[in-house]
Structure 1
Amino acid sequence: MMRSREGESSLSRSGAAQDASKEYGTLMSVLSPSDTETPSKGRRRLELTSSRAVDDVSGQKNETYFEKKVVVPDYPNGWYGFSFRKLWAFTGPGFLMSIAYLDPGNIESDLRSGALAGFKLIWLLLLAHCIGLLLQRLSARLGVVSGKHMAQISYAMYPKIPRIILWLMIEIAIIGSDMQEVIGTAIALNLLSSGRIPLYGGVLITIVDTFFFLFLDKYGLRKLEVFFGFLITIMAITFGYEYIKVDPNQIDVIKGVFIPWCSHCNSQAITQAVGIVGAVIMPHNFYLHSALVRSREVNRNTRKEVSEANKYFFMESGIALFVSFVINLFVMCVFAAGFFGKAAGEIIDKCPAINKTLTSPVAYNDTLDVDIYVGGLFLGCFYGLPALYIWAVGILASGQSSTMTGTYAGQFAMEGFLNIRWKRWKRVLLTRSVAILPTVFVAAFSNINRLTGMNDVLNVVQSLQIPFALLPLLHFTSHPGIMKSFQNGIGMKIAVWLLGFCILGINVYFSIETFLAISVTWGRVLISLLMAIYGVFVLYFITAALGLHQYCQKSQIFQDFIGAKADFHSEDDDNDEFHDQIVLVNGQESDSSDI
């Protein structure tokens, strides 16, 4: 039910409804002045304006990232259609987010999928990107509508223990992703130097280059976004070159995209298919995207600007993930055409260097495992040395770009979950040290197979962390006090819940596979215990998302966080309608339109 402007707002509500309305206030009252400042009407060009974000809980200044915000140009002459200038103003956060879909772990998942199943899993890669777009849309809307990112809202919504558990799970996901980036960079440097830079040396070099890239944002937010766009362009050119060089059958590519089936796929291919979801969907990326969208000046007091920002961010995310899909498609098709169906002996005969990477002899007709390193050697032997070096450049760009987004995600997580603000170099030193120490150990005392084999384990770890991002995301975007009329509609809730249960099913599958692969009794007991604890944590966040316990609404922290009741308000009649929309917990009055 919606209040009319002619006076229906004066109707009395029940006491329960009044209490619910107070409980489900918006987050708008705690926004900093820079978050709610409306750009002047006369401004028409895209520019940056200085603004210092304020810590929402402590009130301290936050100079970590968004010291400047991008001003969105006004519509000329009151025109409200599509504008390329506005799309350009909103372009940036989606491409930074999409880098997580192009990290070395994803690249390795692509090439293994192509090598094991040919073109038969391309449709699953497309599906994973579509699922990612759906979820990234929700995270972007959360940041735009509330003015907060997921970690900040988690601080207000969850008790201390679940909040810390949630933070730890996201940190595990970030560190796992960071390890993949370190591995990818080390292998790329080893290939580019023809083995002169040892793997452990490449791992150590990543410490230096991370600090170098860390301070690029001091030159301005837009310049940082352009730099990341440049790295994505490098990946598109290098992997696109490999695609053209290998020249896969285009009919097979089209069939792989549009025929959702994997006929005659063996157990390895099925396991790899399941792993694609864990490799593509990064849990910490939802937290990152909800924070990055705050870099644009949006007046959240008016419906039109909020709705417009949601629209353009969705369009930009769609474009960015389409580019990501095409790059991943290049990699999968290269190894589907060049590697799939070839016997190990046939490959080794033409590329003896691969034989040095094997830990044990293989029969001529065996299937040869492929990874980022072996893939580079394979391309160099079959398609010439330029293919090897260009491949290594693409992997290097992948590792370097995803390193920075992981650092940003970690900083936002720490600031939001713990209300702790570290200097950037301290944050990088911590996460990079945790990622580097085990990687250096493996690189120094083992061979390349063990190092690249870590990516498979890390992809499984990423998949296990997805519920700890997906469930809070569904919880917050369905919360009427946070999202008001932008809360999830029934269709969106059903779609995301179905997706959540599918991902939980994937995790159960991986758990059973791991359990069966362990023959030692104490190992099975340990895995069973860990999965039981994991199940309890997931169940807690499921009940929170379903509203089966009321701690979140009764939390004093939440009440302090949302402050006094504040509705969207505006200067025109259309926005008055938006101001009049009220969402009550008992459903007596609601508007859950999915705008």
Structure 2
Amino acid sequence: MSKKNPFNAPSRESLSTAGTAPSLGEAHSSMKVPQNAAWWKKFLAFVGPGYLVAVGYMDPGNWATDIAGGSQFGYTLLSVILLSNLMAVVLQSLAGKLGIVTGRDLAQACRERFSMPVVMMLWILCELAIAATDLAEVIGSAIALKLLFNIPMLYGVIITAVDVLLILVLQNKGFRALETLVIVLMATIALCFGIDLFLAKPDMGGVLHGFVPNVEILQNPAMLYIAIGIIGATVMPHNLYLHSSIVQTRQIEQTPQGKKEAIRYSTMDSTIALTLALFINAAILIVSAAVFHSAGMTQVAEIADAYHLLTPLLGTTVASILFGVALLASGQNSTLTGTLAGQIVMEGFLNIRIPAWLRRLVTRLIAIIPAVIVTAIAGEHGTEELLILSQVVLSLQLPFAVIPLVMFTSDKKSMGAFANKLWLKIISWVITAVIVMLNVYLIIQTIRLF
């Protein structure tokens, strides 16, 4: 393949002759997009991938930072959630564009552009990040099972191994079935927190004021630390690989106009889905602020504590039950997308194929084994520290996904007329610089805590 232009958007047939199989081959171009139809019918055909991506922005790893931010500082950090969400909208739109225009996912693009040692390093880092993500989801689901059904953490961790079977069943029923389940679970989370918001009766004036950036965040070290934690836990590196692949499940016209239309509808899909993620993350912080901060409980930072305190403070067990159900749905949702990302990354970086069930089993075992060992030895406190460590691993890997993404989508030889315009290049590199600097700071501060 020519090194001058490794990202020509090839057809499915030319991909195989060039030695690169289509990304996520079993679902590639499997969903038809109606031609000569109303715009809303075309848009509905593209709805789905954005929600699989948005799941990563509300996984259990985000919950602790949102709860801590709300309990300690009230509504002030809502502006940080909004800022991190805007960053996510830009980066995910770039990932979707890369997949649609080039016919490559981000992992395949890295393999074709970089030398083999660099590719292997990026693959190992990405696998560690996916394992860390899955670890957070395993622990989050286990915490939910303990809170809702009083199942010991160790057993809860083991039970989460079974849900890998659900992914296999759904995969056999087609990609749309997987997308539908994810959307249903996201709607469940949104409904649960919508009711909790109603029960918490937050100060709407304070909520609106919280979305306005406040210079106090930069002046208060404790507030800044949690703010960086919120941003660091929001943009997930595996989501960029995932999005660049699953947008290719749509069967689009391989023409400039067809790609332009696909980019527009794909961006609409991810933006709407990420707006729902913004609502859920904001709702977690708002409930924490309205219930805990207003009652003077400024040290609530753990998921289990928040669950147990909601009932006595709001006077109803419904609030705690809904909180637990939302957490369980969040963990399961993130599991579905995390294991899918694992398959995309291995196939993209290494250009090898192994059975989907084996790939998912390996991914899940990598997460479950350390969780089981730590839970058995150190108990619940150990799993909480493991949750923190998983977020640090994610922060370490993030620049290695964001920087290549911005590079590739800004390259005219790769993207042609779809290359990032100057204004988008500037915004993208500023976002990249902010994320890298904040994540480095977060890692340094977290290491000091240990």
TM range (shorter): over 0.9
Residue in 2 that maps onto 1:334: 287
Where does residue 303 of structure 1 map in the other structure?
256
1:199 to 129, 137, 153: 153
2:34 and 2:42 in contact (8 A); partners too: yes
* 174, 177, 191: which one aligns with 1:223: 177
Q: What is the rounded CA distance, in whole Å, between the counterparts of 2:143 and 2:446 in structure 1?
A: 27
Which residue number corresponds to residue 274 of structure 2? 321
- Pick from 124, 135, 152: which aligns with 2:91? 135
Given that residues 26 and 484 in structure 1 are in contact (C-alpha distance below 8 angstroms), is that contact kept between their aligned partners in structure 2?
Answer: no
The superposition leaves residues 322-343 of structure 1 with CA deviations (integer Å, 9 ceiling, x where unpaired) of: 1110111111100011112545
Change in 2 beyond 3 A, CA 1:63/1:488 = closer
* Distance (whole Å) between structure 1 residues aligned to residue 93 and residue 164 of structure 2: 29
Larger Rg: 1
93, 116, 138: which one aligns with 2:72? 116
Aligned to 1:32: 12
User: Could you tell me which of 490, 495, 501 is aligned with 2:422?
Assistant: 490
Deviations 1:225-273 (A, max 9, x none): 1111100110011111111111111111000112444469753322110
Which of 102, 106, 130 is residue 174 of structure 1 equivalent to? 130
Aligned equivalents of 1:230, 1:315: Cα separation in 2: 19
Question: Quick one: distance in 2 between partners of 1:369 and 1:156?
Answer: 47
8 Å Cα contact 2:100-2:259 kept in structure 1 = yes
User: Could you tell me how far 1:481 is from its partner in structure 2?
Assistant: 2.4
Q: Residue type of the partner of 1:375?
A: A
2:375 is aligned with 1:422: no
Once the two structures are overlaid, the 10-residue window that deviates more, 139-148 or 23-32, is 23-32
User: 2:51 maps to which residue?
Assistant: 95
Aligned mates of 2:10, 2:283 — CA distance in 1 = 46
Q: TM-score, normalised by structure 1?
A: 0.72
Give, in whole Å, the separation in 1 of the partners of 2:73 and 2:389. Answer: 20
Query: Alignment length, in residue pairs?
Result: 448
**What amino acid maps onto 1:333 in structure 2?**
I
Of all paired residues, the percent bearing the same amino acid is 35
Secondary structure of residue in 2 paired with 1:321:
helix
Inter-partner Cα distance in structure 1 for 2:448 and 2:373: 28
Q: Find out whether 1:287 has 2:245 as its counterpart.
A: no
User: For 1:70, which of 31, 34, 37 is the aligned residue?
Assistant: 31
Q: In structure 2, how many angstroms separate the alpha carbons of the residues matched to 1:57 and 1:31?
A: 10
State the alpha-carbon separation in 2 of the partners of residues 203 and 515 from structure 1.
26
1:184 aligns with 2:170: no
Contact 2:58/2:277, CA 8 A, preserved across alignment: yes
- Give 3-state SS (helix, strand or coil) of 2:293's partner: coil
- Letter of the aligned partner of 1:500 in structure 2? T
The match for 2:365 is 433
- Residues 130-180 of structure 1 deviation map (CA, whole Å, 9 limit, x = unaligned): 100000010000000001101111111111111011111111111111111
Aligned to 1:373: 304
Provide the rounded CA distance (Å) in 1 between the counterparts of 2:409 and 2:20.
25
| Long gaps (5+) in structure 2 | none
Q: Counterparts of 1:240 and 1:154 in 2: how far apart (Å)?
A: 41
Partners of 1:377 and 1:406 lie apart in 2 by 29
State the alpha-carbon separation in 2 of the partners of residues 149 and 114 from structure 1: 37
Q: Deviations for 1:4-50, whole angstroms, at most 9, x for unmatched residues?
A: xxxxxxxxxxxxxxxxxx754363474314x9xxxxxxxxxxxxxxx
| Aligned: 1:234 with 2:166 | no
Distance, in Å, in 1 between the alignment partners of 2:282 and 2:128 is: 28
TM-score by length of 2: 0.94
SS at match of 2:31: strand
- Give per-residue Cα distances to partners, 1:535-556, cap 9 Å, x unaligned: xxxxxxxxxxxxxxxxxxxxxx
1:375-397 deviation line (CA, Å, top 9, x unaligned): 11111232222221111110010
The answer (yes or no) to whether the contact 1:228–1:401 under 8 Å persists in 2 is: yes
Higher relative contact order (CA 8 A, sep 6+): 2
